[in-house]
Structure 1
Amino acid sequence: MNNWQETLLRGESPIADAVVRVDTYGIALVVDEAGLLLGTITDSDIRRGQLLHLAMSEPCSKIMNAHPRVSNHGQPPAHARELMRRHTLFHIPIVDEAGCLTGMARIDEPWAARAEDQWIVLMAGGRGQRLRPLTVDTPKPMLKVGDKPLLESIIGNLCEQGFRRFYIAVNYKAEVVKDYFRDGADWGVEIRYLEETSEMGTAGALTLVPESQQQRLVVMNGDLLTKVNLHHMLNYHAEHKSEATMGVREYDFQVPFGVVNLEGHRIVGIDEKPVQRFMVNAGIYVVEPELIAAIPRGQPSDMTTLFERAIADGQTTSVFPIREYWLDVGRLDDFERAQTDFRKVFS
């Protein structure tokens, strides 16, 4: 990689600077004043920092991988490529005997080819009760945000990332969705339909995926306006060797009163209008076929039940913190906000 110097940061540099480099180059390299490699930062490191509620002003040394894999200066390029292939890395620093950075190797992951083989299930069967009267004649994913249906924006964004194969789960006003998208040819994609005869829940709809297609699936609610990078989510899922990964979003709630802290009857402190932070389900998932095969047939089942069952069975589950734009268009005020945000974020 010829421009590897542009990825460099000091340990005291803010996380915000690391975000810019990772979004531009895929990695940030942390060095000291002598050029000694102190660590690396990738998209996954930034997202793990989110789980710790680290502010963008915090030093990037708090999220860096202080023990990265490296290739030694003078080794043939094939050595670096083999390390990246073996450990599913896209970049690897090259250092001299003293550990000082001398370069960086990069392998271009064939994301487009991999994305073309990945099936994405979009959930579009709900009744959208909280959006009535807008959804009396139109299913929620087909409501227009900007100049196009919400579901079309979702498919368009995923097309830009290279994804081409979609299942759409339909039930309420199914013909509206099917008549609009048909087989997807107008968008250069393949669309098949999972037709629910009754409401089956998000997980229950996955049982309609033909057995021949029972592979790892990306599942996404059809009422989301988001720029989430699914490549990063799939990499994160693989990196953590998860059977199921749930996209999550930080949600802040400010208590509108002073919270009194007690020990028995004694007041030991007062927090004035504290802010509580939670990680909430963002409606985007990656699920391995073994979990899909275990979903009960012929009865409603939701994704929270799937995760609870996986946890009870000792399966590995992970959360993927979403740092990109994300909005659940579930209520009338969300729908109004989506109209404003669409012009800013998607124009």
Structure 2
Amino acid sequence: MHAVILAGGKGVRLRPYTTTLPKPLVPIGDQYSILEIVLHQLAAQGFASVTLAIGHLGHLIRSYVGDGERWGLRVDYAPEDSPLGTIGPLLAMRELPDDFLVMNGDILTDLRYGELLATHRAAGAHLSVATYRREVKIDFGVLTTTAGRITEFAEKPSFDYRVSMGVYALNRAVLDRYTPGLPLGFDELVLDQLAAGQGPLDFAFEGYWLDIGRPDDYDRANAEFDALRPALLGSRG
């Protein structure tokens, strides 16, 4: 099994933590970086190789990870000279297997990555997306109006949505229609798949998931890490 980890972003929303470190290398629990946790998880779940798509401060990631030997992985690198979006970096990767995992390098989760990839393969899917239920609470009274009249009212309602976790499984053939070197976002890929009548597979997940995008998220990750360590790192935790 092969995984591509997207680790090229500037982490602007997480400043000042990312002023001198790329976001995947910020420490969690004063002992591990986010990326180290992810690499350990992938190795423990049977992945043999990883490609790291790097850009901003990528030399620090190369220095930290090296060839991946200490995790029992084969690690190579795909440098990104300019931002290419979520999917764009994949277009120049020539030696990807038929089906592979893609994930952001800034998430903490106990998702079974291998199970996602196995489910994707078994379904013969073009694209599979790990999804998570989010509840959004509205702090106002919500009105529905028609022709100048209020027809419905709800006081501080909440809505449930399924959101992308930033973890996907792809079939390599999905990328053939796109031009290497040009930006390509995940949103564009999903919309193209829907337009082609090839709706992505929903891999619904109900465990722990945290996208470390803002300082509040980072503080929460550190506050929760001791309790989550066994779930995230298994026997190593």
Bigger shift: residues 174-183 or 196-205: 196-205
For 1:206, the equivalent position in structure 2 comes to 90
Bigger relative CO (Cα 8 Å, ≥ 6 apart): 2
Amino acid at match of 1:205: P
Equivalent-residue separation in structure 1 for 2:100 and 2:162 (angstroms): 23
Which protein is bigger by CA-based radius of gyration? Answer: 1
1-structure distance, mates of 2:15, 2:144: 42
CA RMSD of aligned residues (A): 1.6
Deviation track 1:250-287 (CA, whole Å, cap 9, x = no partner) reads 11111112223445444444322110111112101111
Preserved contact between residue 96 and residue 172 of structure 2 (Cα < 8 Å): no
Q: Give the whole-Å Cα distance in 2 for the aligned partners of 1:241 and 1:164.
A: 22
Contact 2:141 2:156 in 1 (8 A): yes
State the SS of the aligned residue for 1:201: coil
Q: What is the identity, as a one-letter code, of the residue corresponding to 1:280?
A: V
Work out whether 1:332 is the aligned partner of 2:208: no
Aligned to 1:120: 3
Take 2:143 and 2:85, find their aligned partners in 1: how far apart are those partners? 41
Contact 1:247 / 1:321 at 8 angstroms: preserved in 2?
yes
Q: In 2, Cα distance between the equivalents of 1:218 and 1:295?
A: 19
Q: Which residue of 2 aligns with 1:24?
A: none
Identity of aligned residues (%): 31
- Residue 103 of structure 2 corresponds to which residue in structure 1? 220
Residue pair 1:241, 1:316 contacting (<8 A) in 2 also: no
Work out the CA distance in 1 between the residues paired with 2:67 and 2:11: 24
Instruction: Trace 1:291-310 onto structure 2 (pairs within 5 A).
Output: 291-310=174-193
CA separation of 1:259 and 1:126: change in aligned 2, threshold 3 A: same
Matches within 5 A, 1:148-187: 148-187=32-71
Note the residue ranges of structure 2 that are not aligned, 5 or more in a row.
231-237
TM superposition score normalised by structure 2? 0.90
Larger strand share, 1 or 2: 2
Q: What is the rounded CA distance, in whole Å, between the counterparts of 1:331 and 1:289 in structure 2?
A: 32
* Cα displacement (A) at 1:322: 1.8
Q: Counterpart amino acid of 1:233?
A: L
Contact 2:4-2:103 within 8 A present in 1 as well: yes
Q: Please tell me whether the aligned partners of residues 132 and 163 of structure 2 are also in contact (alpha carbons under 8 angstroms).
A: yes
- 1:260 matched residue in structure 2: 143
Q: Compared with structure 1, are the counterparts of its residues 263 and 198 closer, same or farther at alpha carbon in structure 2 (3 Å cutoff)? A: closer
Question: Aligned residue for 1:249?
Answer: 132
Q: How many residues align?
A: 229
Shift of 1:148: 1.1
> Where do 1:41-52 residues align within 5 Å?
none
Aligned residue number for residue 24 of structure 2: 141
Provide the secondary structure at the position in 1 that maps to 2:92.
coil
Rounded Cα–Cα distance in structure 2 between residues aligned with 1:292 and 1:331: 31
Instruction: Return the alpha-carbon distance in structure 1 between the equivalents of residues 179 and 193 of structure 2.
Output: 13
